[in-house]
């Protein structure tokens, strides 16, 4: 039976699909190919997946659908009857949620509801879905650990991701749907999103344009390389969530439950100064950046750092690609990609 992957043309979705296809899994990809950023990049990712599956076309099918379209998603579940679902489709971007909140409600809340209903009515073995480190909000206790409460989001995007975790838990409790939520920390690497700092910075540096450095450079991020993210996702997909037998309702642990629902951080566990990231990118591109220092933006947080001990205990893996190696790989890809 096929795996259903939503957001398959996205940065993380395409990377995970590439690894799943490499091991011979049958995939059905879904994406609406919206114009939040250049759809040509999404089409290029899909072309790579199509080429990878060319020798065995039955392994890969793609449907251009909007997860907010309940009828279309219901028909897709009826046709595919997936054994497992990897739900990565979402309206991304913290800052954009201040400008277009309706897109986040439709994709991240309504769309998530449709995916949950599809899983419920087709007895899906395991749902893995994308959450985000942004759910930690105003928390200043680093590193972030899943046992901490996440009740103070500082953006609508973060609030929708917290809502996704609550929605998934309710379906695990009510309908026995094993579900795992993954909190991603600042993902970067080849084929990344053009609205994120690595792509914005690289393009500006190579064209001699200034880069906007928020909070005057006093930002720390847990930069996590895309290949590590993909491996962590697949390991979790392969191990369905189970109930926590030691869960105590009198002292509830937010990361697990009496239901088959789990939450895990996926991060590099080594927060880095934004200025250090810029320095490494300058070295890799052999150009100096023109830095335009600006105040911190609404919805942003000063620092993120992941405690990944729970992920390691669950699937025996934690991201470990050093920033120096990941930035060099990204820069090499960016030069090649922009020359074509």
pLDDT digits (tens, 9 = 90+) for 222-264: 999 999 999 999 999 999 999 999 999 999 999 999 999 999 9
3-6 and 220-221 strand pairing: unpaired
Output 338 or 68, whichever has higher pLDDT: 68
pLDDT exceeds cutoff 80 at 89: yes
C-beta separation of 81 from 48 below 8 A: no
Could you tell me if residue 216 is inside a domain? no
| Residue range 94-106, pLDDT digits in tens | 888 888 999 999 9
Within a domain: residue 18?
yes
Band (pLDDT 50/70/90 cuts) for residue 62 is: very high
Is 157 a catalytic site residue? yes
What is the predicted pLDDT for the residue at 340? 67
pLDDT tens for residues 192-232?
Answer: 999 999 999 999 999 999 999 999 888 999 999 999 999 99
The pLDDT, as a whole number, for residue 53 is: 97
In a domain, 245, yes or no: yes
pTM of the model: 0.96
Q: Is residue 110 part of a domain?
A: yes
Report the Cα 122 to chain-centroid distance in Å. Answer: 25
Per residue in 69-84, pLDDT tens?
999 999 999 999 999 9
For 310-321, write each residue's pLDDT tens digit.
999 999 999 999
Q: Is residue 284 part of a domain?
A: no
How much is the pLDDT for 97?
A: 86
Contact between residue 167 and residue 255 where contact means Cβ atoms under 8 Å apart:
no
**pLDDT for res 225:** 98
Contact 156, 104 (CB under 8 A): yes
**Mean of the per-residue pLDDT values of the chain:** 95
List pLDDT tens digits, range 132-187: 999 999 898 999 999 999 999 999 999 999 999 999 999 999 999 999 999 999 99
Q: How many domains does the chain have?
A: 1
- Whether residue 72 lies inside any domain: the answer is yes
CATH number at residue 177: 3.40.50.720
- Does residue 277 fall inside a structural domain? no
- Residues 235 and 104: their CA atoms lie apart, in Å, by 28
Number of Cβ within a 10 Å radius of residue 30? 27
Kindly state the helix (H) or strand (E) to which residue 104 belongs, with its residue range.
Answer: helix 101-104
CA neighbor of 231 nearest in space, from 315, 124, 326 = 315
**DSSP helix/strand/coil, 261:** strand
Domain that holds residue 37: 3-185+226-268+306-320
The answer to whether position 138 is within a domain reads yes
Q: What is the mean pLDDT of residues 47-76?
A: 97
Name the catalytic one among 36, 157, 171, 188: 157
């Amino acid at each position: 039976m096929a795996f259903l992957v939503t957001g398959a043309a996205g940065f993380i979705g395409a990377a995970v699909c590439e690894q799943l296809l490499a091991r011979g899994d049958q995939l059905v990809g879904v994406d609406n190919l919206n114009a939040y950023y250049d759809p040509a990049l999404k089409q290029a990712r899909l072309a790579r997946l199509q080429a990878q599956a060319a020798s065995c076309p039955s392994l890969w099918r793609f449907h251009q659908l909007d997860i907010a379209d309940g009828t279309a998603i219901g028909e897709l579940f009826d046709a595919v009857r997936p054994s497992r679902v990897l739900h990565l489709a979402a309206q991304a971007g913290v800052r954009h949620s201040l400008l277009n909140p309706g897109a986040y409600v439709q994709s991240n809340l309504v769309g998530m509801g449709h995916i949950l209903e599809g899983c419920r009515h087709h007895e899906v073995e395991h749902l893995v879905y994308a959450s985000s480190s942004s759910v930690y909000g105003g928390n200043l206790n680093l590193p972030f650990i899943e046992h901490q409460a996440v009740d103070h989001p500082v953006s609508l995007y973060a609030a929708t991701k917290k809502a996704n975790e609550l929605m998934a838990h309710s379906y695990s409790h009510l309908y026995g749907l094993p579900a795992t939520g993954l909190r991603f920390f600042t993902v970067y690497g080849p084929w990344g999103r053009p609205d994120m700092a690595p792509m914005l910075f690289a393009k500006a540096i190579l064209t001699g344009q200034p880069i906007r450095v928020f909070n005057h450079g006093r930002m720390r991020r847990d930069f996590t390389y895309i290949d590590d993210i993909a491996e962590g996702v697949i390991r979790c997909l392969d191990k369905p969530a189970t109930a926590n037998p030691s869960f105590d309702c009198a002292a509830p642990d937010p990361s697990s439950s009496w239901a088959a629902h789990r939450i895990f951080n996926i991060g590099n566990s080594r927060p880095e100064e934004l200025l250090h990231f810029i320095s490494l990118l300058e070295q890799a591109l052999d150009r100096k950046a023109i830095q335009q220092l600006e105040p911190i933006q609404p919805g942003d947080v000063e620092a993120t750092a992941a405690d990944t001990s729970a992920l390691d205990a669950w699937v025996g893996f934690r991201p470990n690609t050093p920033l120096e190696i990941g930035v060099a790989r990204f820069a090499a890809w960016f030069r090649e990609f922009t020359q074509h």
